[in-house]
Amino acid sequence: MSEHGDPDTEASPHTDTPADVALRLLAAALTGDVPTAQACCTPDVELLMEDTQVVHGLEEVRHVIEFHTEVATDVRCDIHHVLTSDTGDTVAINRTIRMCIGGTRVVLEVGAFFEFEHGLVRRWVDYHDMRPVTDALGH
């Protein structure tokens, strides 16, 4: 026991790897958990989606997550590969997302890169073909 009290009730240091943070961000984003997603990011986070949309900052990320939650149902995500750079400042994740948009089943193969600053995601870039999504949205 430490001089501060019972060790079972004291906070222990949390040592998340960049991969842990990126995976937590993905899970939160796909389930609509905005507070958890925002906690994984720097205040000036940048999210790029296949050069079709670029958002900056926590509020814009919130809007993207809320929009996704409104239009996509029955969302499932299979993680295939998680790679971390030797320096730990970049994580690459390959995943498949299955969801329903407006009654249409959509399957997206996604490659993503997460760049880190001080243990938080500073930049998130998703690469995927947006055609199935835009078709399901009627665009």
pLDDT of residue 38: 97
Question: 59: helix, coil or strand?
Answer: helix
pLDDT of residue 128: 83
Q: How far apart are the C-alpha atoms of 8 and 120, rounded to whole Å? A: 28
Enter the tokens of residue 76: 């499932």
Structural domain boundaries of the chain? 18-136
Q: What is the pTM of this model?
A: 0.83
User: pLDDT under 50 in the chain at which residues?
Assistant: 1-13
pLDDT of residue 136: 77
Q: How far apart are the C-alpha atoms of 22 and 114, rounded to whole Å? A: 7
- Bridging pattern class, strands 41-49 and 120-127: parallel
Question: 132: helix, coil or strand?
Answer: helix
Instruction: Tell me the CATH number of domain 18-136, given options 3.30.460.10, 3.40.50.720, 3.10.450.50, 3.30.1950.10.
Output: 3.10.450.50
pLDDT of residue 14: 54
pLDDT of residue 127: 92
Question: 98: helix, coil or strand?
Answer: strand
pLDDT of residue 51: 64
